[in-house]
Structure 1
């Protein structure tokens, strides 16, 4: 049974499609893996951040992108937030946005 990938909102989806082509291509490749095999990916593709929040680790010649996501009942993966990485650490503001959206999604369900 396949998994379904949905986005928190249209803006999140659009921002990812506007990434540099190499990083976006890696994102699409990883999403195909998730649709087929589920969200239980490990490093180097994905990493658990705790409390139901995960990150996808997308790379391209242009740099590194990060996508925060969660899973829901019914084999759903919800893409919560994304950004192009410019530093070694995840900026606190990016993580805060993802955690806020995670709470919103969990509260709705």
Structure 2
């Protein structure tokens, strides 16, 4: 089954601000999400334990780690809400909260 992935304008701008090699690796990971959807395994995707039905795409290039947050919207559609370059081992709670707020906007 093929899934559709939508990007918010914020995450599109974020991805375009990254180096071309990182953009290419992100696109490959998004393509995996389109192909496998909710069954995309680690290390590519992981559920955020502290968030309600929010997942992260995990992309690594060299020592840089990019996190893109997403959720299942409806049918075969996933929405990638936001992203950031991870500097520490812990996830940024503000980024998770931002993803949850965007998810609520889609659900209304």
**Which runs of no fewer than 5 residues in structure 2 stay unpaired?**
none
State how far apart, in whole Å, the 1-side matches of 2:74 and 2:107 are: 11
> TM-score, with normalisation over the residues of structure 2?
0.87
Q: How many pairs are equivalent?
A: 106
**In 1, Cα distance between equivalents of 2:53 and 2:107:** 10
Aligned to 1:4: 4
TM-score (norm 1): 0.86
Aligned Cα RMSD in Å? 1.6
| Corresponding residue for residue 30 of structure 2 | 31
1:44 maps to which residue? 43
CA deviation string 1:49-101 (max 9, x = no partner): 14210000011025010000001222001011100111111112111111111
Residue 90 (structure 1) aligns with = 91
Matched, 1:53 2:26: no
